[in-house]
Amino acid sequence: MLVIVAPGQGAQTPGFLTPWMEDDVFASRLHWLSAVAGLDLVEHGTVSDADTLRDTRVAQPLLVAAGLLGSLALFPHPADAFGRVGAVAGHSVGELTAAAGARAITAEQALVLVRERGRAMASAAATTATGMTAVLGGEREDVLATLARHGLTAANDNGPGQVVAAGTTEQLAALTADPPAKARLMPLAVAGAFHTEHMAPAVGHVARLAASVSVHDPRIPVISNHDGHIVHEGRDLLQRLVAQIARPVRWDRCLETMADLGVTGILEVPPAGTLTGIAKRALRGVETFALKTPDQLDAARDFVDRHGEGSLLTTTPTWRMVVSPAKGTFHVDADARDRDLLAAGVEIGGVSSLRDRVAVTAPHGGQVVEWLVEDGDPVSPGQPLLRLHPEGVE
């Protein structure tokens, strides 16, 4: 099982795209995405300094463009990816990269959304003095309790021993004076408290734009930052991308879902290294590949050959299949079980785990062809539950 991951803000470094610009096809595509984004991504990816790259309005479009073009270099014919990649995931803004890579939105739509996302988040950050600090080590319960005591949000939960606190500068100063036991603090060079309530104004702006975006069901399952659930319905994915701006990134749950899927290989697209580093510590025994430069492409393709098995979505289109969003026990809704025709959005049951219960709906509705699980069956993320035939389709 192969999972492709896309990094978030902070992964960029000065000149990281310089070696890629020697490829005429890559360079041409980057010029095109620069025009879409209204930014000179070529300059920012090759000569801009670290201070310039820290600007949210620059970093976010640059990261999405780099990830998409790196994916295209790896899979020159995108359809090849649909038969090889089991799932995709992106950290923070990297979710836009993942959504476009899974063909839920186009590359151009992703660049417009990320351009406006970066501008809106920079504007929201300017209204109040806020920031973020990485909390490394310590006992998880103590870390979270300490953040709560200081009024801070765990904006990024990246796995064991890696939590990022976000809030006002006063709250972060209080954390510095009273840190969790056995933890090390590392202030981050970011413009504000991303993935917190401080970003609420940005959510409204991006939501208004997203309402006009034509979206498709992803061709590859997307693992959501919000809860680690598998998302296979396009409109749901787009809504999550918007809401994610002001709510925490649960990368720890994304990693849990990758483990539940049986991942054997994780490949990170440019600028790679951050997420594969986390995976090495959190998913022992899973092979990783950080694609940083074009001279690694042959080795990256070998990596794909070793781990790529594709997903059920390639042979069972999402428009006629309802799948489990998470690992747990499936309990069927009795009313839905007795119906031959289901309306769009109707609840067909729920997946229960030790953590919670997740309602499962039929996004598109249609004629029931067959149930693929029984009440009380254990299910895994992305497992087909119900096959539907859309109304009006022969």
Q: Same structural domain for residues 107 and 145?
A: no
Of the listed ranges 117-121, 264-268, 315-319, the one predicted with least confidence: 315-319
Q: Same structural domain for residues 335 and 306?
A: no
- Domain boundary residue, one of 261, 289, 313: 313
Q: What is the pLDDT of residue 394?
A: 39
- Calpha distance 293→305 (Å, rounded): 19
Q: Same structural domain for residues 287 and 324?
A: no
Q: Same structural domain for residues 93 and 205?
A: yes
Q: Same structural domain for residues 153 and 266?
A: no
Q: What is the Cα Rg of the chain in Å?
A: 21
Q: Same structural domain for residues 8 and 152?
A: no
Q: Same structural domain for residues 378 and 299?
A: no
Q: Same structural domain for residues 266 and 380?
A: no
Q: What is the pLDDT of residue 320?
A: 77
Residue 330 carries which side chain, given as an amino acid letter? F
Give per-residue pLDDT as tens, 192-251: 999 999 999 999 999 999 999 999 999 999 999 999 999 989 999 999 999 999 999 999
Q: Which helix (H) or strand (E) is 287 found in, with range?
A: strand 287-290
DSSP 178: S
pLDDT of 392 above 60: no
Displacement of CA 250 from its chain's centroid (Å): 10
- 200-210 helix and 107-125 helix, angle to the nearest 10 degrees: 150
pLDDT of 315 above 50: no
Q: What is the pLDDT of residue 317?
A: 57
- Calpha distance 39→56 (Å, rounded): 12
- Residue 394 inside a domain? The answer is no
Assigned token pair, 9: 């803000």
Q: Same structural domain for residues 179 and 242?
A: no
Give per-residue pLDDT as tens, 57-89: 999 999 999 999 999 999 988 778 888 999 999
- 94-101 helix and 56-74 helix, angle to the nearest 10 degrees: 30
Displacement of CA 312 from its chain's centroid (Å): 20
Residue 117 carries which side chain, given as an amino acid letter? R
| Mean pLDDT (whole number) for 106-126 | 96
Assigned token pair, 159: 């796995």
Q: Average pLDDT over the chain, rounded to whole?
A: 93
Residue 312 banded pLDDT, cuts 50, 70, 90 = low
Residue 55 banded pLDDT, cuts 50, 70, 90 = very high
Q: How many CA atoms lie within 13 A of 343 on its CB side?
A: 4
pLDDT of 313 above 80: no
Residue 161 banded pLDDT, cuts 50, 70, 90 = confident
Using CB atoms within 10 Å of the CB of residue 345, give its burial: 0 to 12 exposed, 13 to 18 middle, 19+ buried: exposed
- Residue 192 inside a domain? The answer is no
Contact 18, 292 (CB under 8 A): no
DSSP 85: -
Percent above pLDDT 70 for the chain: 96
Q: What is the pLDDT of residue 77?
A: 85
Using CB atoms within 10 Å of the CB of residue 285, give its burial: 0 to 12 exposed, 13 to 18 middle, 19+ buried: exposed
- Residue 109 inside a domain? The answer is yes
CB within 8 Å of 309: residues ≥ 6 apart = 1, 2, 84, 86
Domain CATH code at residue 358: 2.40.50.100
Cis peptide upstream of residue 271 (ω within 30 degrees of 0): yes
Catalytic positions are 92, 195
Q: What is the pLDDT of residue 319?
A: 62
- Residue 150 inside a domain? The answer is yes
- Residue 174 inside a domain? The answer is yes
pLDDT of 142 above 90: yes
Structural domain total, the chain: 3
Domain CATH code at residue 27: 3.40.366.10
Residue 189 banded pLDDT, cuts 50, 70, 90 = confident
- Residue 246 inside a domain? The answer is yes
- Domain boundary residue, one of 265, 286, 313: 313
- Residue 240 inside a domain? The answer is yes
Contact 315, 288 (CB under 8 A): no
Q: Same structural domain for residues 32 and 163?
A: no
Q: 132 phi and psi, to 5 degrees? A: -140, 145
- Calpha distance 375→140 (Å, rounded): 35
Q: Same structural domain for residues 104 and 35?
A: yes
Displacement of CA 314 from its chain's centroid (Å): 20
Assigned token pair, 382: 């992305």
Of the listed ranges 73-87, 133-147, 332-346, the one predicted with least confidence: 73-87
Tell me the three state secondary structure of residue 387: strand
- Domain boundary residue, one of 275, 293, 313: 313
Per-residue burial over 161-192, b if 16 or more Cβ lie within 10 Å, else e, is: bbbbbbbbeebbebbeeebbeebebeebebbb
Q: What is the pLDDT of residue 53?
A: 94
- Residue 225 inside a domain? The answer is yes
Containing structural domain, residue 345: 316-389
- Calpha distance 366→360 (Å, rounded): 15
| Mean pLDDT (whole number) for 114-134 | 95
Pairing of strands 341-342, 366-371: antiparallel
| Nearest of 273, 331, 316 to residue 70 by alpha carbon | 273
DSSP 249: B
DSSP 137: E
Q: Same structural domain for residues 309 and 376?
A: no
